[in-house]
């Protein structure tokens, strides 16, 4: 944030028509990624917003004790973290697969031009 970040002077305006085939590929990837992200966010939302409902509606369930500690406390203090981590893992591997899938090539992970610098700013399109 302290740096001249991105196109500070002129706004990025990739005005020229880009390769229609590339744009079509990008549309496909975006759709696939959006679908997956929606599922992940929905599952995460279900966990975060559903668990409080469960704890409210079923106080007996929350009263169950595990090693002497009330289950409701563990359901808040411990249980969400492995679930969130598992969801994160699922989203990550899926998103990387979606990126590779369309034409079987690698995603943006490799530095193919070998200069060690990557100009992946939007403004590059100009």
Partner 1 sequence: MTGAAVVALVLVTVLIGARGVAAMRTTSDFLVASRQTSPLLNAAAVSGEYLSAASFLGVAGLVIKEGTGALWYPVGFTAGYLLMLALVAAPMRRTGALTVPGFAEARLGSARLRRFCAVVVVVIAGLYLVPQFVAAGQLLTLVSDVPYWVGVVVAGAAVSITLALGGMRAATYVQAFQFVLKLLLFAGPAIWLLIVAGPELRGQMAAPPEFTTFTRDTDVDFRLDSTLVLPSPLTVVVDGEPRALTAGPHPALADTRWTFPAGAQVPEVDGERDGLPVPGSTAWGVPLLGSGTDSPLLATWSVLAATALGTMGLPHIIVRFHTAPDGRAARRTAAITVGLLGTFYLFPIVYGLLGTVLTPELYLSAGTDTAVVMLPGRVAGDGLASSIVTALLAAGAFAAFLATSLGLLLALAGALAHDLMPSGLRRLRLSALAAAAVVVTAALFAARIDVSAAVTSSFAVAASTFCPLLVLGIWWPRLTARGALAGMSVGLLAALGAMSLAAVPGSPVPSGGTVGLLLSQPALWSVPLAFVAMITVSLTDHAPPWAEATMLRLHLTDKR
Cα(74)–Cα(76) distance, rounded to whole angstroms?
Answer: 5
CB 50, min distance to partner 1, A: 11
Question: Using the rule CB under 8 A, which residue among 21, 35, 40, 61 binds partner 1?
Answer: 40
Count of CB atoms situated within 10 Å of the CB of 80: 14
62-101 positions binding partner 1, by CB under 8 A: 62, 65, 68-70, 72-73, 75-78, 80-82, 84-85, 87-89, 91-92, 95-96, 99
Token pair belonging to 58: 């079923």
104-123 positions binding partner 1, by CB under 8 A: 105-109, 111-113, 116-123
Cα(79)–Cα(66) distance, rounded to whole angstroms?
Answer: 12
């Amino acid at each position: 944030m302290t740096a001249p970040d991105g196109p500070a002077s002129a706004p990025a305006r990739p005005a020229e028509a880009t390769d229609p085939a590339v744009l079509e590929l990008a549309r496909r990837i975006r759709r696939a990624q959006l679908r997956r992200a929606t599922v992940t966010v929905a599952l995460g939302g279900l966990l975060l917003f559903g668990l409080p409902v469960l704890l409210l509606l079923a106080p007996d369930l929350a009263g169950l004790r595990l090693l002497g500690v009330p289950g409701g406390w563990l359901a808040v203090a411990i249980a969400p973290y492995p679930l969130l981590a598992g969801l994160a893992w699922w989203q990550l591997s899926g998103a990387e697969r979606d990126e590779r899938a369309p034409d079987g090539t690698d995603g943006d992970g490799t530095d193919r031009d070998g200069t060690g610098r990557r100009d992946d700013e939007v403004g590059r399109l100009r």
